[in-house]
Amino acid sequence: MTDGHATDIHHDSHAPHHVWYFGVFGALCVLTALSVMFDVLDIRGKHTIGGINLLLAVLVLSVATAKALFVMTYFMHLKFEGRWKFLLLSPTVILALGLPLALLPDVGVHYYTTDVPQNSAHVTEHSHTPELETTSESPH
Amino acid sequence: MSHAHATTVHGAPPLKMGLPIPNSKLGMWLFLGTEIMFFTAFIGTYIVLRLGSPDWPHDPNVTHIRIWAGGLNTFVLLASSYLVVVAHESMVARNIPRAKLYLLGTFTLACLFLGIKSYEYYGKWDHDILPGHIAEDDNQAMTKTLGDFEKTLNRQYARYVPDSEAARLADKRAAIDAKMKDASPEVQKQVEALKALDKEYLALRTQHQELKLQLVPLSEKLEELKTNPEFAGLLGGLEAHHPIKYGNIFASTYFLMTGFHAIHVIVGMIMFAIPLWVISLDHRWTDYVENCGLYWHFVDLVWIFLFPLVYII
């Protein structure tokens, strides 16, 4: 790579973006305060999924997504990058979503009872009782 | 390639190969791609486990998760992200002293973040909210409470029979009478109180072994013993444990996500410390600062999602 080439790349990469970064920071702080407010005011709807209040989850995760978009767009300069960003990030995002989606049917929304294995009769019967075993008396 | 450049028509853009960004930046973005998958695995697993556990602990008095600490840490990370982006802007403008100042600010805020995180971890440690340590049903809660009772007694006996002479509680019990032969009446009185407390413990333990003990009576008995003036000071901060269903998987996922995030913060601090350490920092470090900034913004992004998921929902 020649010096001239390198200079061109650097010129593109370091071109000033004229973003009011402090304004972006202020917006992120306001959104954070909004999330805390949802919790403090205990904004909860009637519907739940797996014990999670749906309204609260949608509200705070929407705010989190908005914050993430602010950071990616302005702080990470993705707004000013070429289309390579889609090419580079799409496969990882698709693969990242694969694991939770694969686990969801069995672990997340299973039809069977939710009695955890630790609470099964077998473990309860054989659970450790102080001084039943000699090692239990060793000082810590 | 240099020939091609030399023969380029004046005014026309030079021929470029690959993406129009520095190789180091491309490398950082590829690394961040792997990091997205890394953290999404943890966060996605947490969400899925949470969905599958209707009684997941979320009461702050049980989990000892403090929203003010999470909110404050979010603000700290956002402020540090702002400082690193203006540090990069200063590098582009070749204002190196100002860039260094902003980088120092970022580094300081990262330290503050870890300080607040350490305070939170201390709370978990102090209340034994640790993976594998949490009782998930009444029987486990009673076993754990009696285990603490036993440790407390062992500690009290150690005042008269040192651990170096007898490590186990049973050995201390056997040795204590011989130790008391020449003791003052005041000490002998204290030991008698300790033995009486030990007798109470043995009675509770026997009931537990015979499956005749219940958690509520055990809690009440402990409170009664603590208010008994004879045992004043002997029981210290002994409290009955209460079951936390899914407590262990909660603690595992909490420490997994926040722990790996904290490791990333430490790595970021090392990355920022390097240009701060370099005396002859100049504009040639601009790419480095930009790449550090990209990494740091990603660390911020992860926390942006951890905050609502762990602290609010």
**pLDDT tens-digit map of B141-178:** 999 999 999 999 999 999 999 888 888 999 999 898 88
Query: Quick check: B13 pLDDT over 70?
Result: no
Please list the residues that pair with A53 across neighbouring strands: A48
If one counts every other C-beta atom within 10 angstroms of the C-beta of residue B39, the result is 21
The pLDDT, as a whole number, for residue B257 is 97
What value does the mean pLDDT of chain B take? 91
Rounded CA-CA distance B171/A131 in Å is 12
Global pTM value: 0.82
Rounded CA-CA distance B11/A53 in Å is 61
- Closest by CA to B65, choosing from B253, B222, B272, B274, is B253
3-state secondary structure of B299: helix
Query: Quick check: A136 pLDDT over 50?
Result: no
Q: How far lies B69's CA from each of B7, B76, B218, B307, in Å?
A: 61, 10, 34, 10
Task: Kindly report, residue by residue over A72-120, the tens digit of the pLDDT.
Answer: 999 999 998 888 889 889 999 898 888 888 888 877 776 666 555 555 5
- Region for residue B245 given its phi and psi (left: phi exceeds 0; alpha: psi -120 to 50; beta: otherwise): beta
Contact at 8 Å (CB) between A140 and B151? yes
> What amino acid occupies position A71?
V
- CB contact (8 A) between residue A68 and residue B25: no
- Region for residue B290 given its phi and psi (left: phi exceeds 0; alpha: psi -120 to 50; beta: otherwise): alpha
> What amino acid occupies position B48?
V
Q: Mean of the pLDDT values across residues B97-122?
A: 96
Which chain B residues in 282-301 lie under 8 Å from chain A, judged by CB atoms?
A: 286-287, 290, 293-294, 297-298, 300-301
3-state secondary structure of A52: strand
Out of B12-16, B41-45, B207-211, least confident range: B12-16
Strand ranges for A1-140 from DSSP E: 48-49, 52-53
Query: Quick check: A26 pLDDT over 60?
Result: yes
Partners of residue B161 in chain A, C-beta under 8 Å: none
Question: Tokens 């473990």 map to which residue?
Answer: A123
Q: Mean of the pLDDT values across residues A8-29?
A: 75
The pLDDT, as a whole number, for residue A14 is 60
- Whole-number percent of chain B with pLDDT over 90: 72
Give the model's confidence band at B74: pLDDT under 50 very low, under 70 low, under 90 confident, else very high. Answer: very high
Q: How far lies B146's CA from each of A2, B5, B158, in Å?
A: 74, 80, 18
Contact at 8 Å (CB) between B290 and B84? no
Closest residue of B to A75, CA-based?
A: B85
The pLDDT, as a whole number, for residue B181 is 81
Partners of residue B65 in chain A, C-beta under 8 Å: none
Partners of residue A129 in chain B, C-beta under 8 Å: 143, 146, 205, 208-209
Chosen for mutation from B15, B34, B106, B304 (greatest number of chain A CBs closer than 10 Å) is: B304
Q: How far is CA B118 from the centre of its chain?
A: 6
ipTM above 0.90, yes or no: no
State both tokens at A47: 């519907």
Question: Tokens 């979503």 map to which residue?
Answer: A97
- Nearest CB neighbour to B25, from listed A13, A99, A132: A13
Long-range contacts of A62-66 (CB under 8 A, 24+ apart): A63/A31, A63/A34, A63/A35, A63/A38, A63/B308, A64/A35, A64/B304, A64/B305, A64/B307, A64/B308, A66/A31
pLDDT top residue among A65 and B5: A65
- CB contact (8 A) between residue B304 and residue A50: no
The pLDDT, as a whole number, for residue A113 is 61
Give the model's confidence band at B196: pLDDT under 50 very low, under 70 low, under 90 confident, else very high. Answer: very high
The pLDDT, as a whole number, for residue B221 is 94
Rounded CA-CA distance B291/B303 in Å is 19
Rounded CA-CA distance B74/B234 in Å is 42
Out of A58-62, B17-21, B132-136, B275-279, least confident range: B17-21
Residue B56 CB burial class (10 angstroms; 0-12, 13-18, ≥19): buried
CA atoms within 13 A on the CB side of B138: 10
What value does the mean pLDDT of chain A take? 76
Q: Mean of the pLDDT values across residues B112-129?
A: 95
Size of interface A-B (CB pairs under 8 A): 227
Rounded CA-CA distance B88/B290 in Å is 6
